[in-house]
Amino acid sequence: MRRLRAVDAESDIPSAYSRGPIGDLLRFHNLGFPLREVQQAELLIGMCMDNRKSLRIPDNFAFILRAGGANLRYSEFKVSYAVAVGGVRHIALIGHTECGMVNLIARQGLIVEGLVAVGWDREAAEQHFLHFAPMFEIGNEIDFVFSEAKRLRVRYPRLIVAPLIYKVSDNRLYALEE
């Protein structure tokens, strides 16, 4: 995991994020800063749907979109809503280690069998997997978060987009070296 930057102290927060809500996210979650009262969302957090991840943040602090692999390509209108109506100007895109969307093709049998077990026709389950797996395969967590952050920066050029990684083994957020 060579491009991960641990955030164990205030000085570890990348300067591009230190004075805004992304820095606050890192302070709340990693550094245990006291949670403050928040009236309106200050950022959008895009993260994976994986149930092993939970963030320590104040109520009302962020819009949170959960999608497999932190892939927001198919949630872009929701991003636009948070920006246009919610007024957010910062996005924390959080991928994570041990993501099930990595090497998705290796899980074909598991997914097909799981669908058959709940009543799907096997052929329909196989076709479903073959149709959707390429859309949701992310390759490698770090490279995907980088590429998705770049895509979002092009789409929303006046926003700050921070690629982060959540390490499942220690439940901490890491900045990605760019």
Same domain, 108 and 61: no
Which pLDDT does position 9 carry in this prediction?
Answer: 97
Same domain, 118 and 153: no
Same domain, 129 and 144: no
Which pLDDT does position 2 carry in this prediction?
Answer: 58
Same domain, 145 and 68: yes
CATH number at residue 23: 3.40.1050.10
Same domain, 145 and 169: yes
Same domain, 111 and 145: no
Q: What's the domain count of the chain?
A: 2
Kindly report the CA angle at 111 between 125 and 1, in degrees rounded to 5?
A: 140
Q: What is the DSSP code string of 100-127?
A: TTTTGGGGHHHHHHHHHHTT--HHHHHH
Same domain, 48 and 111: no
Which pLDDT does position 178 carry in this prediction?
Answer: 77
Residue ranges, the chain, pLDDT below 70: 1-2
Same domain, 94 and 110: no
Same domain, 126 and 58: no
Q: What is the pTM of this model?
A: 0.93
pLDDT tens per residue, range 23-60: 999 999 999 999 999 999 999 999 999 998 899 999 99
Same domain, 24 and 60: yes
Domain hosting 57: range is: 4-102+140-176
Residue that is written with structure tokens 């200050």 in the block: 42
Same domain, 91 and 32: yes
